[in-house]
Structure 1
Amino acid sequence: MSDRFDSALGLEARRGPGAWAAKLLLYTTMVVVFAGPLVALLVGAFSRVIDPTGFSLIPNGFTLANFVEAGHKNVYLYLLNSFVVVGFGLLLQMLVSVFAAYSLARKKFRGMAVVLIIILATMMLPEEVIIVPLSVVLADLPPFHTNLIGSYAGMILPVGAWGFSILVMTEFMKDVPVELEEAARIDGAGELRTFFSIILPMCRPALGVIGVFGFTMIWDQYLLPLIVATEPGQYTLPIALRTLRSDEEVGIGVLLAAALLALLPSVLAFLAFQRQFMRGLTSGAIKG
C-alpha cells in the first residue's frame, strides 16, 4: 500500500535525504491528522486533568476518576438508553430491510418503480427537513392516535426502515441464482423456508454492511431523541454529550470519558461485523 501511495505522489522515483525527509513529513502529518484526535481522546479520558478548561496530549497519571464522575452525571443511564434504542431499532431495521428487499428482488408487482423512487426520495431528504412533520406524527400516530413522545417506541419506530439498507439488500438478493430457489421448491421447501435457508445465508455480506451502517446511523441519532425525550432520564448519549458540554461544572476529562464511551460501541460493532462487512464491500466493488 505504501508503494502505491508513493507512486501516486511521484515519490518512488526520488532518492536521497530530501525524498526521505519528505516521506517522513508526509506520513507524520497523516498520522497526526487521522490518529491525533483519537490519541487525545484516550489520553484525556484516562488522565488527571489539572486545568478543567483544557487538556494535553501528554498523559498526567492514569486514573478512572473521570469515568466515576461520568457515572455521577448519569452518563451510564444515557448509555443504557442508547443501547436499548440501537438494539431494538437495528433489529427492526434489518427485519424490514430483508423482507422489503425480498419483495423488490423476487416479486413482480405493479408500481414497483414508484416504490423504488419513494425509497430513494427518503434518502435525499435531510433529517432537519422531516423532523418537524415527524414530531407531529409521533405525537398522534395514525391510525391508532397514540402519543409516542416520551417513549422508547418514539425513538425506535422511525429508524425501523432505512432506504439505504433496503437497496443494498435488494441488489444482493437479485444476484442470488433463481435456480437455487427452484431446486429448493422441487425438494418440497416452502417460500419462508427457502428464504431463510437459501437466500438469507447467501446475503451474509450484505447483512454485515447494513448492520455496521445501520448501527452507526441509529447510534448517532441526535434530533430524533431530542424531540422524543421529555425528561433528562430519557436522553441518549449523543444528547447527553451536548448537555455535559454546556455544564460549567463538568471538566474536560469527564467530557472526554463520555465521548470515549460513545465511540467504543461503534468500533466494537465494526469489529463484530468486520468479515461480512469487508466481503460485502468487496462484492459490491466486483459487481460494479
Structure 2
Amino acid sequence: MKTRPPARADRFDSALGFTAQRGPVARLIQIVLYVVLVAVFAGPLVALMVGAFSPVADPSRLTLWPETLTLDNFTAAFDRGVLRYLANSFIVVGLGLLLQILVSVSAAYALARHRFPGMRLVLLLILSTMMLPEEILAIPLSLVLADVPIVHVNLIGTLAGMIIPVAAWAFSILVMTEFMKEIPLELEEAARIDGAGDLRILWTIVLPLCRPALGVVGIFGFTMIWDQYMLPLLVAQDAGQFTLPLALRTLRTDEQAGLGVLLAASLLALLPSVIAFLALQRQFMKGLTAGAVKG
C-alpha cells in the first residue's frame, strides 16, 4: 500500500484557498493582498468616521486622515432631531426584537417537538414569506395596519405599527426550529418524568441549550429591524415618528445640513449594529458552527 508523501515544509495553505511558497516574495505578496483587502472593506468605514468628525466642505473630497477634528457635525445633527429619531429606533428595535424572539422560540418549540396535522403546510407558508419582497407587501400591509382585523385598530402614525409587523420573522423561526430539533429528546423525557410541563422544559432545559441559536437570531433580528426603511415610511405620518434610517433620507435632501451632518447621523446609525454584533459575537460564532462537527 502506497503512502502519501509528507507535505513539504516550505509550502502552506493560505486562508484564501491557494497554496503558496514560503519566502520573502510570497510574504510580500501576502502583505500587499491583505492591505488591499483591508483598504477595500475598511476604507469606506474610515472615511465615514473621519468625515463625521471633520468639516466637509467638498462632498467629492473625503479623506482618510482628518486635518481638524470637530463635533460641530454631531451638534448640528442633534439640533435637527437626530436624538429623537435615535430614541424611536431603539424603542422599535428593543420591543420588536423582544417580541420576535418570543414568537420565534414559541413557534419553533411547537414545530420541533410536536406533531400536528398540516405541519408541513405551516412550514411551507412560513418559508414562503421569505420569498416576497417588501415592495409587494407594502400596500397590503398598509391596509392591514390602517384597520387591524378583529380589533379594528388603526396603527398608522404609531410606533406600534412599526413593532408588531416585525414580531414574526420566518428566518428566526426556521433557525430556532432546526436548532431545537438537534436537542436530544431524552432530556425532555427525563424532565417530564420529574413532573415538568412544556413551559418549564422550554425555560429551564431547551432555552439554555439554544443560546448559540439565540445569538444568531438576536444579531440578524436586530439588524433587520434597525435597518427597516419601508415599514417606517408606511407608518410614520410626521417627523416625530421617524426612525433614524428614515431620517437619513430627510438629512440627505436638506441642503443646509451638509454632508458632514449626514455622515455624523450615519455613524450614529451604524454604531448600534456594530455594538450588538460585538456583544453577541461569541454566541453568533457558536451558532454558525453548531452541527458542523459531529462527534
What TM-score comes out, normalization by structure 2 length? 0.91
Q: Does 1:41 align with 2:19?
A: no
1:66 to 52, 73, 81: 73
Matched AA of 2:130? M
Between stretches 190-199 and 219-228, larger displacement belongs to 190-199
Q: Is the 8 A contact 1:53 1:252 kept in 2?
A: no
CA offsets, 1:175-221, max 9 Å, x none? 11111111111112222111101111111111000000000000000
Q: Which moved more, 1:182-191 or 1:67-76?
A: 182-191
Kindly indicate whether residue 62 of structure 2 is the aligned counterpart of residue 55 of structure 1: yes
More helix by share: 1
Matches within 5 A, 1:96-245: 96-245=103-252
| TM-score, normalised with respect to structure 1 | 0.93
Residue identity opposite 1:279 in structure 2: K
Return the alpha-carbon distance in structure 2 between the equivalents of residues 202 and 8 of structure 1: 34
Deviation at 1:7, TM superposition (A): 6.7
Q: Which residue of 2 aligns with 1:8?
A: 17
Shift of 1:138: 0.6
Aligned equivalent of 2:91: 84
Residue 58 of structure 1: CA displacement? 2.3
Q: Which runs of 5+ in 2 are unaligned?
A: 1-11
In the alignment, the residues of structure 2 paired with residue 38 and residue 191 of structure 1 have an alpha-carbon distance, to the nearest angstrom, of 47
Equivalents in 1 of 2:257, 2:291: separation in Å?
45
- Measure how far apart 1:285 and its partner are: 3.2
Shift of the 284–136 alpha-carbon distance from structure 1 to 2, 3 Å rule, reads: farther
How has the CA–CA distance of structure 1 residues 66 and 284 changed in structure 2, closer, same or farther, with 3 Å as cutoff?
A: farther
Q: Deviations over 1:52-77 (max 9, x none)?
A: 66432220212111111110111111
- Whole-angstrom CA distance in 2 between matches of 1:78 and 1:163: 27
Q: Percent identity among equivalent residues?
A: 65
What displacement does 1:16 show?
5.1
> CA separation in 2, counterparts of 1:81 and 1:225?
10
The structural deviation recorded for 1:13 is: 2.2
Question: Helix, strand or coil for the counterpart of 1:142?
Answer: coil
How well do the aligned residues superpose, as a CA RMSD in angstroms? 1.7
| One-letter amino acid of the counterpart of residue 184, structure 2 | P
Distance 1:251 1:54 in 2: 13
| Structure 1 contact 54–252 (Cα < 8 Å) conserved | no
1:260-279 mapped onto 2 (5 Å cutoff): 260-279=267-286
Q: Distance in 1 between matches of 2:185 and 2:51?
A: 55
Contact 1:49 1:60 in 2 (8 A): no
> Within 2, Cα distance between the matches of 1:218 and 1:267?
14
**1: distance between equivalents of 2:40 and 2:129?**
34
Letter matched to residue 148 of structure 2: L
In 2, Cα distance between equivalents of 1:26 and 1:7: 10
For 1:103 and 1:69, locate their aligned partners in 2 and report how far apart those are by CA, in whole Å.
Answer: 50
Shift of 1:8: 2.5
Question: Does the 8 A contact of 1:53 with 1:251 survive in 2?
Answer: no
Q: Deviations over 1:238-275 (max 9, x none)?
A: 11111111111111111111011000000111111111
Q: Give, in whole Å, the separation in 1 of the partners of 2:229 and 2:59.
A: 26
- 1:182 alignment partner AA: E
For residues 60 and 77 of structure 2, the distance between their equivalents in structure 1, rounded to whole angstroms, comes to 17
